[in-house]
A and B are shown apart, each in its own frame.
Chain A
């Protein structure tokens, strides 16, 4: 472990990597605080820019954009009640209330400190867990890998909220889109409708640029903009009471965020809502939550960053993205010819450990940047969006072209943008769709391999102990919310019928 950390340190502190880490977190902060541009959008738009870099440098910069934008999106949530990212939505409650009470600076400082604390603790967890999990996963065969992907998809469904069916349908729709082109292991072209351009499938990074960059930006245009609350430098001083109240909340948020973030598909957004919910239950000052309580800023913010780091565990160790942004990052790995998963730790130790150690420096840079500079960053919110969005759209299209030097990619971005816009407008969740899209090829690969292993009998998944456990867990995770929803509805109906009967009597 120490050797690996030293190797990672050596890679991370090279002047080039440190510079691009700095650029990444800076750009991430700026992107994150712009309404409508979250971490997924940021990584998707800037991924093509990193094509000329060494893989490790590119991934360090892209990861920097990821956690940088987590900080940035908190700024816009607190100052204009407009989250840059879905994981900062919850900060529009108490963060914005603190800002309205003249404690904008304190809210920003608490958010930065809680983020840093969570990032460092969760990084330790990430470093401690990722390699052992990857090592354990080396024993997996196709059946186990298939079971893990099924479990990942079932997790997405379980956490899809009230609209479970819609979540699962979108994940399946993502799977379906991933099947366009020549099937891997076969020579059959699927859903190509005679188009040569579709034979190699839809470039999923282009689809993501369309959905997250074009779709989100246009949705933001439709929504309009707000004027930010001014945060002054002198307000950045946090009072002793605010710090005392925030510290245990940040610890709780970190633990919860890490636990949720490890689950593939659960993501940081869910972690922030759960952390806020927990604070409402356990905080000594729960009566103040919703009215500008610092613990309700610290806990979700800590959960957000802890979950973001934890989502790298399934991504790096198993090759299963833990969130929408890690799904795009997974695309970056593939573009650089790397396959995230158990073998990555053995084959590319310098890259993996360099990336993990860079998280520490990136978060340190963010803290140093954000603590004194948050009010300066906030000035970006005053730039009229009218001038920003055309540039973002141009970057998105040209960046997508750079992925494969093919004008057909531009049309993929265009139509994916249209799809993303309508998905956002009519509340069809994008994260399950993207995870389905990314996991599709892997799912099919392992399905075909498992079928070959069992001579067409897929029940071998129930004959191997670990795949039996995972498949059963996936089935339970999938069935439980659906069955319980049906039961609840039936109960309500039964109760309604009884009341009606009593009334008529």
Chain B
């Protein structure tokens, strides 16, 4: 005899994260594109042997199908149906460790101010933004290499990050930047004799 409690035992369906769906879809599109390109490169050469397009085509088709299956799984698999496997033991421990790490990260016992601040004194919002600014800064620095040279461009990027993004004092920022630039120049420029681009400035 069944009751309503039995219905509760049916695991619910997964609620996929948007990021998972988007990331997997991108992979699927890339896979589909690679498969088509593989045809274009030629699947076989004379004698029916493997041609330059065979592996891209197979791999691309595989990525496309696997991504489609993954999207299907994300939407239609039921929560908790992965138990009973060898790997589920590992996953359980992994989940416990992740929870423990998050608990420590959230507790911040030494932080008497907002629980949101980390030891850098940054809020979660600032932490989320930081990688974006850092990528942008390094992107600009790389674009400036033909003008400023490798070391000066990267040093300028570091100085900008420390002063503007990390809001450090100017003298500690300057000292860190100069220290890093000198260290890198000694190791790569002098010891390893790497011919580093000096740009239009032609300094170092």
Contact = CB atoms under 8 A, between A and B. Distances in A.
Given A191-B37, A402-B192, A421 B131 contact: yes
Contacts, number: 279
B66 A165 contact: yes
Question: Is the interface on chain B under 10, 10 to 19, 20 to 34, or 35 or more residues?
Answer: 35 or more
A451 interface: yes
Can you list the 6 inter-chain pairs with the closest CB atoms, starting with the nearest? Answer: A224-B118, A456-B48, A502-B2, A451-B50, A183-B52, A81-B104
A277 B93 CA distance: 7
Given A386-B162, A503-B2, A274 B90 contact: yes
A334 interface: no
Q: Is the interface of B mostly helix, strand, loop or mixed?
A: helix
Contacts of B154: 394, 397-398
B174 to A, nearest CB: 12
A401 B194 contact: yes
A503 B4 contact: yes
Given A48-B192, A401-B150, 9 more contacts: A82-B101, A172-B66, A176-B30, A274-B89, A385-B120, A387-B172, A397-B150, A426-B19, A489-B81
Contact of A407 (B104, B187, B197): B197
A475 interface: no
Interface of B: 1-4, 6-7, 9-11, 17, 19-20, 23-24, 27, 30-31, 34, 37, 41-42, 44-45, 47-56, 59-60, 62-63, 66-67, 69-70, 73, 76-78, 81-82, 84-85, 87-94, 96-98, 100-101, 104-105, 108, 110, 118-120, 122, 124, 127-128, 130-131, 134-135, 138-139, 142, 145-146, 150-151, 154-155, 157-158, 161-162, 166, 168, 172, 176-177, 179-181, 183-184, 187-188, 191-197
Contacts of A284: none
Given A52-B191, A188-B41, A390 B180 contact: yes
Given A81-B104, A224-B127, A455-B49, A159 B55 contact: no
B106 to A, nearest CB: 10
Contacts of A405: 194-195
Nearest to A487: B81
Q: Looking at B24, B49, B128, B180, which has the most chain A CB atoms within 10 Å of its CB?
A: B49
A82 B76 CA distance: 34
A226 B197 CA distance: 39
A202 interface: no
Nearest to B1: A502
Interface in A377-403: 384-387, 390-391, 393-395, 397-399, 401-402
B144 to A, nearest CB: 11
Contacts of A402: 188, 192, 194
A176 B39 CA distance: 14
B138 A386 contact: no
A484 B85 contact: yes
B119 A169 contact: no
Given A90-B97, A290-B96, A414 B47 contact: no
A394 B42 contact: no
A493 interface: yes
Contact of B23 (A218, A410, A428): A428
Contact of A169 (B27, B131, B166): B27
A89 B102 CA distance: 12
A455 B89 CA distance: 46
Nearest to B146: A407
A51 interface: yes
A368 interface: no
Contacts of B187: 49
